Copies of this chain bind each other. A is one copy, B any other.
Amino acid sequence: MDELSSFQYSLVYNAFSFTFAAMAATTLFLWISRSQVAPKYKTAVTISGLVCAIAAYHYFRIFESWEAAYVVEGGRVIASGLAFNDAYRYVDWLLTVPLLLIELVLVMGLSRSETVSKSTKLGLAAALMIVLGYPGEIADDNTTRAIWGTLSTIPFLYIVYELFSGLGSSIANQHEGVRKLLKQARLLTFASWGFYPIVYMAPFIGLTGATAETTIQIGYTIADLVAKAVVGVLIYLIAVRKSAIESTIADERETAKEALPV
């Protein structure tokens, strides 16, 4: 990555600025709109906003690190000697990935004991997945990378199992008005996460150089936007709809009670 084309440099530069703006905007939207959901779902919306706020902070840092890593000289974009700090991504994920799973659990509105147990199990598994992936990410040789990558896959598979088996039966018990949205949120979470291991494996297939670097940065950015901002808005929509459904049911019960002969 000693030299990028001017187009590649600008594309990544603008994608980082875009993502900072999109994450910050989604944060504000979620926190302002939080007043529109029932108390039961407020924490899910608060955390969805928090995930986007943490991502906005890290994209601001990533943007500045990218700017510092290259200098433009006579139309050429060359490495400045300062390394682009990709570790910001791991630091971000260590905070946001457990929270992403917790927001999904919270919006389901399960019993308190189920919420605590599922949040703890999924949150710890997510943190473990990130921690185990990092030594491989910074390793110089592909063998070390493969070992830590494989270890990191174990909690990942456990999360996928929990999302589709454990949470699957809970989704089946949800009101039909939100079941489709919940499945979409789960699918988007899973699909966007699927991108990260692909990038992790890029060095194994000899994917290096300026084009690879550009593709990887744009790919991570799209995956983060889907996993955090798009899923966050979906969580909000689910919370709004569940609040409306539950208040209608409560109203109907109230009316039915009033109609009873005293």
Contacts and interface: CB of A to CB of B under 8 A. Distances in A.
A47 B88 CA distance: 29
Interface residues of A, number: 43
A25 to B, nearest CB: 5
Interface in A23-74: 24-25, 28-29, 31-36, 39, 42-43, 46-47, 49-50, 53-54, 57-58, 61, 72
- Interface of A, secondary structure class, is helix
A18 interface: yes
Interface in A70-103: 72, 81-83, 85, 87-88, 90-92, 94-95
A17 to B, nearest CB: 6
Contacts of A43: 33, 36
A21 B87 contact: no
A10 interface: yes
Interface of A: 7, 10, 13-14, 17-18, 21-22, 24-25, 28-29, 31-36, 39, 42-43, 46-47, 49-50, 53-54, 57-58, 61, 72, 81-83, 85, 87-88, 90-92, 94-95, 138
Given A17-B61, A28-B53, 11 more contacts: A10-B85, A14-B87, A17-B88, A18-B94, A18-B95, A21-B57, A29-B46, A31-B32, A32-B46, A35-B42, A36-B39
